[in-house]
Amino acid sequence: MRVWIAGSGYGSGRVMPAEEARISLFDHGITVGDGVFETIKAVGGRAFALTRHLRRLAHSAEGLGLFPPDLDLLAGGIGEALAANPEVDPARVRVTVTAGPGPLGSERSGESLTYAVAVADFATPEPTVDVAVVPWLRNERGALTGLKTTSYAENVRALDYAHRRGAGEAIFANTAGNLCEGTGSNIFVAGPATQGQLATPPLSAGPLAGITRALVLEWFGGEQSDVPMSALAGLTEAFLTSSGRDVQPIRAIDGHVLADAPGPLTRKAMAVFAERSAAEMDP
Ligand SMILES: Cc1ncc(COP(=O)(O)O)c(C=O)c1O
């Protein structure tokens, strides 16, 4: 596997074998998780929804108070990393920008950013997924709410919790007792609590502004409304969205099997997303 790095002694970017890539142990991304990232799907060497991903990366960096990342440099680096790994298809493209070398404490040095692009195989998602609700809450008013930062260990912990219970994704409630999101996915639901309509938590509930979520809302529809956690038991159908899963039906929540997986709304959303995303590489 070949990776692309810029900053941190690599200037304006270089492709090299992954084993040769070196990032300082003083990099603030490593010492305190002071960085932002994106996960992008690439098919045939082309990154899907690249403009939206770069825009969100810039938003995350601004929210974290980082210097604005050079998005043209990154777009070039993504292209170079994909061209250097043509056998990886579909590819999971991981774009990371950190605050760069810094002190061992939380204060920043203000030196240059570190940029990295790595690729790996994007595993084909399972046809359905079971989810487990975790006992920890998403804080919809936190400093990092809605930002895709490298401080992701809460998600690692939650996903491990779900895996130990035989589930493929963990679901967070927020501090208001409403549905929020998964560790790496957004959630859409339908049932009596939503009058049978498709609903997804609004951004004010604290989820990441998922790109797949936004495309499903634009291409297919759905309400953005708060869903109390108590409504989950009565759901008739539900699905997850993410760059790797696209639209993935939820089969069971905490062992409670939903009536339909995929249900009728999910099936339509899957079909519309498959058709539109195949037709538009950078929607
Ligand atoms: C916490 C979180 N929520 C939602 C998503 C889904 O976002 P997207 O559709 O842009 O991949 C992700 C992506 O990995 C995520 O990390």
Domain end marker among 95, 121, 147? 121
For residue 269, give its domain range. Answer: 129-279
Q: Whose CA is nearest to atom 1 of ligand 1?
A: 184
Domain end marker among 121, 155, 189? 121
Indicate whether 157 and 113 sit together in one domain.
no
Q: Whose CA is nearest to atom 12 of ligand 1?
A: 184
Q: Distance (Å, rounded) from C-alpha 174 to C-alpha 208? A: 12
- The rounded Å distance from CA 23 to ligand 1 centre is 25
pLDDT digits (tens, 9 = 90+) for 59-82: 999 999 999 999 999 999 999 999
In a mutational test of the pocket of ligand 1, which residue from 188, 243, 246 has the highest number of ligand atoms less than 8 Å from its CB? Answer: 243
Residues ≥6 apart with Cβ < 8 Å to 83: 45
Radius of gyration of the chain (CA): 19
Total domains in the chain come to 2
Residues near ligand 1 with C-beta < 6 Å? Answer: 39, 148, 181, 184-186, 207-208, 210-213, 241-243
CATH code at 264?
3.20.10.10
Indicate whether 154 and 273 sit together in one domain.
yes
pLDDT at 234: 94
Whether this prediction's pTM lies above 0.85 is answered by yes
Indicate whether 108 and 135 sit together in one domain.
no
Domain end marker among 56, 86, 121? 121
User: Which atom of ligand 1 lies closest to the CA of 241?
Assistant: 9
Indicate whether 54 and 138 sit together in one domain.
no
pLDDT digits (tens, 9 = 90+) for 106-149: 999 877 999 999 999 999 999 999 999 999 999 999 999 999 99
